[in-house]
Amino acid sequence: MHSIAQIRQALINGDYSAVEITQFYLDCIQALEPHLHSFITVTPELALSQAQEIDRWRAEGKELPPLAGVPIGIKDNMCTMGIPTTCASKMLANFVPPYESTASHKLRLAGAITLGKTNLDEFAMGSSTENSAFGTTSNPWQLERVPGGSSGGSAAAVAGGECVVATGSDTGGSIRQPAAFCGVVGIKPTYGLVSRFGLVAFASSLDQIGAFGKTVVDTAQMLQVMAGYDPKDSTSLQVPIPDYGALLNNLDLTCKGKKIGVIRETLSSEGLEPEVKSAIQQAIDHFVNLGAEIVEISCPHFAYGLATYYIIAPSEASANLARYDGVKYGLRAENADNLLSMYQQTREQGFGAEVKRRIMIGTYVLSAGYYDAYYLKAQKVRTLIKQDFDRAFQQADLLLTPTAPTTAFPRGSKTSDPLSMYLSDLLTIPVNLAGLPALSLPCGFDRGGLPIGLQLIGNVLREDLLLQTAHIYEQTTPWHAHQPPALGADNGMV
C-alpha cells in the first residue's frame, strides 16, 4: 500500500524521485481507466512538471512540504485554473476556470501532484456516479457495481490505486457513501472548516469539501492542509486548526473513557441490509472490547432528514444553477430565435435528467403558495434534527451509525427509480443538515465481497476526536488492509 508517509520517506531517502512516483501512478491510470473510468481529465504534463519542481526542491536541500510528491485526484467540481472543470455536465464541457479553488491551491502549495479531475454525478447530484455526462465509473471491487456518489470517481481512484488520496465534496453523503461502497476512508468536516471558494455550488448551506484516503492518517493529513480560514468564503470559520496527523502519532490504541452513542433509529431504518447491520453490531462489540462505553441514543427526527434534504437541497440548487443561462460562460444554444428561447434551449441541452428534476422540485417548493408549506417547514425540521444531535452529544462523545443501508448496488438497478436511489443517503444526510463532521471507514464485507462502511459522527469542530477514534478502530481491525481483488496488485514500488 502506498501512503503519504511512505512516499515522503522514499523521497527523503532518495529511493525514488517524485517524477518516478508520478509516472508510476500515471501508468496505473492508463492501465485501469478502461475498466474504472474514475477520471474525466488526466493531466500528465502538469503532473510531471509539478514532480520535477519537487525534485528540484529536494536537490537544493529544501525542506519538503507535507504532501511533497503525493499524487492526488481532484473532484471535477472544484475549479482548477487552466484545467477543465466540467462538473460532469455538458453545460460546462469546455469550461476552463480563470482561478483556483482555495482547497486545491492549498494542496498544490503543500507539494501535492495533480494527476487530473475525477468523475462525479452531474453537478454532484446523485448517489452512484451514473449521472455523469462523460460516462459512469465502476467500483474497483466489482466492476459491474456502482462506486457510490456523487464523489464516486475520487473514491474509486483511491480504492483502485490510481492515486494516493483525492478530494471530494459532500452535500448529503457524497464523500461518506462512496467511501463505504469502495472500502476507503472519507471525511466530511464541520461546515466552514474547509473553504468552499472555487467549489461549484450545488446547495450552499450543505456543501463541504473533504478528503479520501486508504487510511485515517492519510485522510487526516489531507484535511490538515485544506482546513483553515479563507476571507474569500463568507461561511469560513476563524478557528485554530489542530495538527490532525500529529494527534494520531503514538496513540494509545484504547477507547477507555470514550462514550460512543449508537443512534437507535439508524439500526431499524428502512432498507438496512442484514449483513450491514451485522457488521455494525460487530464494530460496536469491538469498541466495547477497546474499552468504550456504548450508549443507546434516540434522535427522533433522524428519519425526517431525507425528506427535509430533498426540499432544501433542490431549492438551493434551483437558485445556484440559474446562472447557467448561456450568456457568460458554459454551453450556449446557437440557433435560438430570442433570449428566452436561448435560455430554454441551453438548459434543455446542457442539463441531464437528474439535474433538471432537482431544479424543478426546488423551483416548485420556492414558488408562491408553496414556500411556507414546504421550504419553511423543512427549515424548521432541520432545526429539530440539529437539536436532536445537540442532546445526543450531551450523552456521548461520538455517534455511530452504518454509513449506507446497503453495499454497492449493480449499475443500472436504480436509475429508473429516483426515490430508491435517494434512500442511499438516508443515514448520511442528517449530518449535513446539522453541519457536523463525520467520517466513514471500512468495517467488514458482505458475502459477495463488497465493503461495508461504518460512520462516526462528531460534534462541531471535533475532527480531532473523530480521527483519533477512527484510527484506533482501523489499527485494531484488518479491514483497511484489504485490496480490491481484480485491481489490487501492488508492485511494492514505495
Catalytic positions, written as ranges: 75, 150, 174
d(CA 317, CA 181): 26
d(CA 271, CA 407): 11
Instruction: Please provide residue 294's backbone torsions phi and psi, each rounded to the nearest 5 degrees.
Output: -95, 130
HSE at residue 338, side-chain half, CA atoms within 13 A, is: 1
Angle, alpha carbons 289-291-292 (nearest 5°): 105
Q: How many helices (H) and strands (E) does the chain have?
A: 15, 11
Angle, alpha carbons 152-153-155 (nearest 5°): 65
The one-character DSSP state at 322 is G
**CA-based torsion, 190, 114, 215, 14: positive or negative:** negative
d(CA 147, CA 387): 33
Among 118, 88, 135, 126, smallest CA distance to 314 is for 126
Classified as helix, coil or strand, 402 is strand
HSE at residue 280, side-chain half, CA atoms within 13 A, is: 29
HSE at residue 468, side-chain half, CA atoms within 13 A, is: 22
Q: Label residue 64 exposed, middle or buried (CB < 10 Å: 0-12, 13-18, 19+).
A: middle
* Residue in the block written with cell 441541452: 349
Q: How far is CA 392 from CA 177, 182, 218, 296, 460, in A?
A: 23, 29, 29, 9, 13
Distance of CA 120 to the CA centre of its chain: 10
Strand 451-458 relative to strand 398-402, pairing: antiparallel
Classified as helix, coil or strand, 334 is coil
d(CA 166, CA 179): 11
Residues 6 or more apart whose Cβ sits within 8 Å of residue 33: 39, 42, 162
